């Protein structure tokens, strides 16, 4: 058993995620449900997987931080990988990305979303819980610009998930901690790099949010994601991330630059055997901007329900459109492969960017131990399929 065979087995099962934990069997998320199969993986085995994946040069940094985010193309599948230290030892959380280039059509999204990226400046937020396809929707909107307009696009991601080959647009992709020390530094740099479009992988910290809002106010089209379950919650989350004394000014800034908010979740369709996105789309009308400026976020719900003529969609109306749709894109083994870039730079490689240690900070973490082994987690098992694939690949 090796990491490649595990990922290949997950791919054959059409899994969206693969979880590996010391002392537990592999777990896969298939159609939104988690399943386990196979024998528990020993802690030393996962430690070896992690060391090989991270590399000797970056291993000391992993020991310091106890986690690492990276992306790789493995067995022809683009993977977003989080490696983490847990009580049992080393763990992996691997997201298997789409085996095709994300576009609005191929993600089965409403074609009206294409209109959002025709705007020259402003802020577009994509929200939703973890695993709801936010990154894929963001990639589809960037690809729409790439295929239709000659614009300079700069993406800031941690890590890079979808790679883009420039078509009509000129695209630069920067990975935090590899190409730039932080989202904040990359955003400051971007304002001096003549971008037309900025894509910020995720707004996590208040400083990242502040710089993102500033960029959208200064003549750039900015796309980003935020974790929330509805459009109103996404806007409230942004404002509430700041200290109370400046929330009024942040609300006014957000109201001035906002173009739209897309909140989405995935729903499994048994008849199609795929998960399709269901979206809530909020457009920044004058009424919505006033609600944001006054922090009356609860009023946004009624504006969204009655805003169909402005291009807004509630989850209920969007679900009705999904149910009436006749043509679907169904991914298959023969789907086109996503755009890829060389895994190694052609020129000399600079060392990864690192943030400076804080004054007086000591960085002498102990090496990760194999940890404790525990019993199996109680998740519905797969009926033989995963084991058969693994045996076939060994």
Burial of 343 (0-12, 13-18, 19+ CB in 10 A): exposed
Q: Which two tokens stand for residue 250?
A: 């942040």
Q: What is the pLDDT of residue 361?
A: 53
* Distance, CA of 161 to CA of 81 (rounded, Å): 10
**pLDDT category of residue 334 using cuts at 50, 70 and 90:** very low
CA angle 200, 201, 205 (to 5 degrees): 80
Average pLDDT of span 119-139:
92
CB 219 within 8 Å of CB 120: yes
Average pLDDT of span 167-182:
92
pLDDT digits (tens, 9 = 90+) for 130-151: 888 899 999 999 999 999 999 9
CB 172 within 8 Å of CB 155: yes
Report all structural domains of the chain as residue ranges with CATH numbers, in order of start: 3-97+368-393 (3.30.450.90), 111-324 (3.40.50.300)
Higher pLDDT: 12 or 393? It is 12
Q: What is the pLDDT of residue 106?
A: 92
Q: What angle, rounded to 10 degrees, do the helices at 183-190 and 206-217 form?
A: 10
Who's near 24: CB < 8 A, 6+ residues apart? 36, 40, 41, 88, 374, 376, 377
CB 180 within 8 Å of CB 190: no
Q: Contacts for 150-153 with beta carbons within 8 Å, 24 or more apart?
A: 151/196, 151/197, 152/193, 152/194, 152/195, 152/196, 152/197, 153/195, 153/196, 153/197, 153/198, 153/199
User: Of the candidates 236, 241, 235, 193, which has an alpha carbon nearest to the alpha carbon of residue 218?
Assistant: 193
**pLDDT category of residue 168 using cuts at 50, 70 and 90:** very high
Q: Which two tokens stand for residue 85?
A: 């230290």
Residue keyed to tokens 């239709």? 148
Higher pLDDT: 154 or 363? It is 154
Q: Which two tokens stand for residue 100?
A: 């095709």
* Distance, CA of 224 to CA of 139 (rounded, Å): 11
pLDDT digits (tens, 9 = 90+) for 26-85: 999 988 789 888 899 999 999 999 999 999 998 999 999 999 998 888 878 889 999 999
CB 159 within 8 Å of CB 82: no
Q: What is the pLDDT of residue 14?
A: 84
User: Of the candidates 19, 36, 37, which has an alpha carbon nearest to the alpha carbon of residue 86?
Assistant: 19
pLDDT digits (tens, 9 = 90+) for 102-116: 899 999 999 999 999
Residue 393 has pLDDT above 70, yes or no: no
* Distance, CA of 210 to CA of 290 (rounded, Å): 20
In our burial notation (b when 16+ CB lie closer than 10 A, e otherwise), range 106-141 reads bbbbbeebbebbeeebbbbbbbbeeebbbbbbbbbb
Q: What is the pLDDT of residue 338?
A: 53
Where does 245-393 show beta strands of DSSP type E?
A: 258-269, 274-283
Q: What is the pLDDT of residue 392?
A: 62
pLDDT digits (tens, 9 = 90+) for 211-252: 999 999 988 999 999 999 999 999 999 999 999 999 999 999
Cis ω on the peptide bond leading into residue 143 (within 30° of 0)?
no
Q: What is the pLDDT of residue 270?
A: 87
Burial of 232 (0-12, 13-18, 19+ CB in 10 A): buried
* Distance, CA of 370 to CA of 48 (rounded, Å): 11
Q: Which two tokens stand for residue 392?
A: 């076939």
CA angle 82, 84, 88 (to 5 degrees): 140
Residue keyed to tokens 């040069």? 57
CA dihedral over 91, 46, 386, 5, signed as positive or negative: positive
């Amino acid at each position: 058993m090796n990491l490649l065979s595990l990922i290949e087995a997950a791919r054959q099962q059409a899994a969206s995620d693969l979880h590996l934990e010391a002392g537990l069997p592999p777990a896969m998320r298939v159609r939104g449900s988690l399943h386990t199969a196979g024998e528990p993986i020993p802690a030393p085995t996962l430690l070896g997987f992690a060391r090989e994946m991270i590399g000797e040069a970056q291993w000391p940094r992993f020991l310091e931080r106890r986690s690492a985010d990276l992306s790789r193309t493995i067995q022809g599948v683009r993977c977003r990988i989080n490696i983490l230290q847990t009580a049992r030892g080393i763990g992996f959380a691997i997201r298997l990305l789409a085996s095709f280039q994300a576009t609005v059509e191929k993600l089965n999204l409403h074609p009206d979303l294409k209109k959002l990226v025709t705007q020259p400046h402003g802020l577009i937020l994509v929200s939703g819980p973890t695993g709801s396809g936010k990154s894929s929707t963001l990639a589809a909107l960037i690809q729409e610009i790439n295929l239709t307009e000659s614009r300079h696009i700069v993406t800031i991601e941690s890590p890079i998930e979808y790679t883009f080959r420039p078509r009509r647009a000129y695209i630069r992709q920067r990975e935090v901690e590899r190409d730039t020390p932080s989202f904040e530094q990359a955003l400051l740099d971007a304002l001096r790099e003549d971008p037309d479009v900025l894509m910020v992988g995720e707004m996590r910290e208040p400083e990242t949010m502040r710089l993102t809002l500033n960029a959208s106010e200064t003549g750039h089209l900015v796309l980003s994601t935020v974790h929330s379950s509805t459009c109103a919650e996404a806007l409230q989350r942004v404002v509430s991330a700041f200290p109370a004394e400046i929330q009024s000014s942040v609300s006014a800034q957000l109201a001035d630059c906002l173009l739209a908010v897309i909140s989405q979740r995935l729903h499994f369709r048994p008849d199609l055997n795929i998960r399709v996105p269901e979206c809530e789309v909020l457009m920044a009308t004058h009424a919505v901007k006033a609600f944001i400026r006054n922090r009356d976020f609860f009023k946004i719900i009624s504006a969204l329900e009655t805003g169909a003529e402005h291009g807004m969609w509630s989850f209920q109306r969007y679900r009705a459109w999904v149910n009436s749709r006749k043509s679907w894109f169904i991914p298959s083994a023969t789907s086109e492969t996503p755009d890829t870039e060389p895994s190694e730079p052609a020129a000399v490689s600079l060392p990864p960017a690192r943030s400076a240690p804080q004054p007086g900070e000591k960085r002498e973490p102990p090496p990760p131990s194999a940890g404790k082994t525990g019993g199996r987690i109680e998740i519905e098992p797969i009926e033989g399929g995963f084991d058969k694939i693994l045996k076939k690949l060994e």
